[in-house]
Structure 1
Amino acid sequence: MKRAQYAERGPVPQDVVEAVDAELPPPGPGQALVAVLAAPINPSDLLQLTGQYGILPPLPATPGNEGVGRVLALGPHVENVHVGQVVLLPAGSGTWTTQMIADAASLLPLPSEADPRQLSMLTVNPPTAWLLLTEIVDLEPGDWVIQNAANSAVGGYLVQIAKHRGLKLINVVRRESAVAAVKELGAEYVLVDGEDLPRRVKEITGGAKVALGIDAVGGAATERLAHCVGRGATVVNYGAMSGEACHASPADIIFRDVRLRGFWVSAWYGAATPQRKIEVLGKIAQLIASGELSAKVQATYPIERIKEAVAAAAAGERDGKILLVP
């Protein structure tokens, strides 16, 4: 078997990772041997390679925070999965590998008819989008929501989940060339960010309250979202694509009672009950299996081409996800 590995961190992620040969023991009691079918390369993976993420595994390490596999063999005392079953791999388990040993109890059975490439992206971005629309503020069908970075991976899922929930979503992008891709996902309202964003949002809503702002950019973009939402509304930040701290005006925070808070899906995984995790991931898996929820894939790579894959994932203005297909 082969797996990706890095023994140091550095500013150029593809320079520190390489494909190495490895061997695995047979699965022990309560364990499963799983063949990895697909594993995405996420921004969080790249930040772990560069040492800039909130959680850094001890070195040497095999990257990969999510993926999907097929059970090849079982050790004694395993009852929740069977050989041949498609399963979701445990979060943060080092999925950039051809095969892995996992605790069987941590494997979530998935619909076998679904595209494994789409299922491989189940752990990080779809739950982030789902939870941003369900656990920050109470939203009802017909409510207005605004998001920036709408052409990002999470942004694409937000477009689809908002439609599923009957929400009215205004989508903001940072360049005109990104508008078409967001509209292809079914978005009705797509705007290019700018100083006059609040005026254009008000024209779309007819002055109705925007209940939630979802920010992945930070910096002045956060403040522009705060200008767009209604009195007493919430702006939630889950990313910092600008590399800048979130800006917030006292006029919004004090006089309009706009609340600014953060969200990190890793923290949710640490706090949620096992039943809640199964509930959320199971619902998303059903939407993926039905074709109602999907993400565009730009390219797939084998483990042997890990450096090329990481470089492609780190490149700007991609048109879809980079996946490893061991």
Structure 2
Amino acid sequence: MTTLLKAQYSERGPVPQDVISAVPFERPTLAAGQALVAVLAAPINPSDVLMLTGQYGQLPPLPAVGGSEGVGRVVELGPETTGPAVGQTVLLPAGSGTWATHVVVPASRLIPLPNDADPKQLAMLTVNPPTASLLLSEFADLKAGDWIIQNGANSGVGSYVVQLAKLRGLKTVNLVRRESAVESVRAQGGDVVLVDGDDLAARVQAATGGAALKLGIDAVGGQATMRMAATLAESTSIVNYGALSGEPCIVTPRELIFRDVTLKGFWLARWFRVTPPAAQRALLTELAGRIAAGQLHTPIQAAYDVAQIKEAIAAAAAGERSGKILIVPTPGA
């Protein structure tokens, strides 16, 4: 077997790449119920970077191995252990420290995935696709032909919102924060793509022909939440799932009281905590099938080996990117 590496951190700090490094470890001896999985690909999500800086809402105890999701190939099963067969591509359990060449996980928590699908696309299955799917299904009774609006549309979640909305017959107004991001969202299938800012409600009305917007999906917070609220139909909801602006959501009394716009929040970690495993597996399996069929995908900017973890984190934390940063370990036994 090649040298085993894991991206580990023992402290947190303001410069995320400074606190993490690749360290070698010995091949583990498996206990009953465990599986050794060779990691094929694992993304770096914004939440992963915030865990390194200490700014995320749920922090693992230290020392910790980075990486909250990914896919791998089963290498070995522990004694008297049943699970996916050796050689099977599997979805790794959420939060299992996936920035590593290999991980040891409970075999019972592995979800088999199509062996012939692109592992880089499958690697992003656990966080962004279910977030997008649930944002579209849990906060409004949407029907084919309805319009929704989202900001942060060029993000990972945003791209899946566009694609899933199209598969469900929904139309999307997509807001970005810079002109250079417009074309990529259009290429994903966004019906209307606008740069967020002044006179947003009037520009949305003109672009949609006065359509009633039935749901707002907010990743930014601050004044962007207020601008989005003004675009919505009466008695609808904004669901916030991020704070890219670093500011609290702002909604005026006019929208809350006189137009009955409701502000709600969504955190995928809580959904995983309260949702029965069978329902989790059903959603993830459905989304995996769509990824394998080429119906869902997200742009990838670059892939790094585990040994390059510092460079990978720096790239993921940088401002302008055109796609995801992945950890793709050098193939080994």
Counterpart of 2:150, as a letter, is Q
Alpha-carbon distance in 1 for matches of 2:287, 2:177 = 28
Superimposed CA distance per residue, residues 188-219 of structure 1 (whole angstroms, 9 cap, x where no aligned partner): 21011112110111123332321100000000
The 5 Å alignment of 1:288-307 reads 288-307=291-310
Shift of 1:141: 0.7
User: Percent same amino acid among aligned pairs?
Assistant: 60
The structure 2 residue matched to 1:116, chosen from 101, 104, 119, is 119
Q: Give 1:53 shift.
A: 0.4
Q: Which residue of 2 aligns with 1:48?
A: 51
Report the Cα distance in structure 2 between the residues aligned to 1:180 and 1:172, rounded to whole angstroms.
12
1:163 equivalenced with 2:182 (yes/no): no
Matches within 5 A, 1:176-215: 176-215=179-218
Q: 1:82 aligns with which of 74, 82, 85?
A: 85
1:23, CA displacement in angstroms?
A: 1.4
* CA deviation after TM superposition for structure 1 residue 32, in Å: 0.5
Asked if the contact 1:24–1:101 (Cα under 8 Å) also holds between the matched residues in 2, the reply is: no
Q: Is 1:13 matched up with 2:16?
A: yes
Paired position in structure 1 for 2:132: 129
CA shift digits 1:2-35 (9 cap, x unpaired)? 1100010000000000010111322211111100
TM-score by length of 2: 0.97
Q: Please point out which of 309, 312, 315 is paired with 2:315.
A: 312
Amino acid across the alignment from 1:158: V
Q: Which runs of 4+ in 1 moved over 4 A?
A: none
Report the AA paired with residue 212 of structure 1: L
Code of the aligned partner of 2:75: L
2:25 to 22, 25, 41: 22
Q: TM-score, normalised by structure 1?
A: 0.99
Please state how far the C-alpha of 1:137 moved relative to its aligned partner. Answer: 1.3
Three-state SS of the structure 2 residue aligned to 1:133 is helix
SS of the equivalent of 2:175 reads: strand
SS in 1 for 2:76: strand
Q: Give unmatched runs, 5+ long, in structure 1.
A: none
Aligned positions, number? 326
> 1:69 maps to what in 2?
72
The 2-side partners of 1:140 and 1:86 are apart by 35
| Alignment RMSD | 0.8
Deviation of 1:79 after TM superposition, in Å, equals: 2.6
Structure 2 regions of 5+ residues with no counterpart?
none
The answer on 1:284 being equivalent to 2:287 is: yes
**Matches of 1:106 and 1:161, distance apart in 2:** 26
Please tell me the residue identity of whatever aligns with 1:77. E
Deviations along 1:240-292, whole A, 9 cap, x unmatched? 00000000010000000000000011110001111110111011101100001
Displacement of 1:185: 0.8
